[in-house]
Amino acid sequence: TALAQITSSDAMGCSSGKAAQGPDAAKESQKPPLEDGTEYLVSDAGVQKKVIQAGTGPTPEAGQTVFVQYTGRLTDGTVFDSTIGKKHREEFGFFFELGRGDVIKGWDTGFSKMQVGEKAYLTCRADYAYRKKATGKIPAGSTLIFEVELLDARTLSSAERQELDAKVAALRN
C-alpha cells in the first residue's frame, strides 16, 4: 500500500511542495521530489509530503484557522490518534490556527504547503514532532506519519472561534 511504502522508505521526514513561510523559510528545500512523488518541505528532510489527491482550493496563510481530518501512525503502522470516528470531529475535523505553534512543527510546515481539498501523507521526523518527549501512545523520539486532508482554511473572529470550540465541547459530552 502507499502507506507501507511511505512507512518503510520515507520515515525520516514530511513534505508538501509549496514555499515555506515564517522562520523556517530559510530551511525550505530545493531538492527535487523523490521518484514516488514525495517532496521535502525543509532542507534537512525533517518534514516530507506525498500527495494522495491534489487540492483545488487556496493555500492557507499563517493566522488562518485550518480544518483537517487525520490519522496518525508510528513508522510500524500503529495508529496513535485519528479524527475519524470521533463524534466531536465529524463536522469540523480538527482545527488550529496555522503558524501559531499550537501543533507540532511538522504540521505548521506541512499544512502551510497544501491546498484546500488536498489529501497527503505528512511524515514528520521527531524534531518536527514531539522530539524526545513521549506522549500518549507515542514513544519518545518517534517519526510520525499522518494521513491528512485539508478541509478548509479561513480567518475566524474570536466570536466564531469561541462558537466552534463550544460546539465541539458539547459534542464531547
Interatomic CA distance for residues 8 and 75, integer angstroms: 7
SS (HEC) of 120-146:
EEEEECHHHCCCCCCECCECCCCCEEE
Q: Which of 40, 67, 94, 146 does the annotation list as catalytic?
A: 146
Interatomic CA distance for residues 144 and 156, integer angstroms: 29
Give whole-number Cα distances, 149 to 129, 140, 161, 163, in Å: 18, 26, 20, 23
Active site residue 81: yes
Active site residue 128: no
Active site residue 130: yes
Q: How far apart are the first and last CA of the chain?
A: 37
Active site residue 96: no
Q: How many other CB atoms are found less than 10 A from the CB of residue 77?
A: 12
Active site residue 80: yes
Q: Which of 6, 104, 138, 145 does the annotation list as catalytic?
A: 104
Q: Which of 10, 40, 67, 70 does the annotation list as catalytic?
A: 70
Q: Which of 52, 80, 127, 152 does the annotation list as catalytic?
A: 80
Q: Which of 67, 128, 130, 145 does the annotation list as catalytic?
A: 130
Q: Which of 52, 81, 96, 152 does the annotation list as catalytic?
A: 81
Give whole-number Cα distances, 59 to 1, 125, 160, in Å: 28, 23, 21
Beta strand 119-124 pairing with 94-97: unpaired
Q: Which residues pair with 82 in a beta bridge?
A: 71
**Active-site amino acid positions:** 70, 80-81, 104, 130, 146
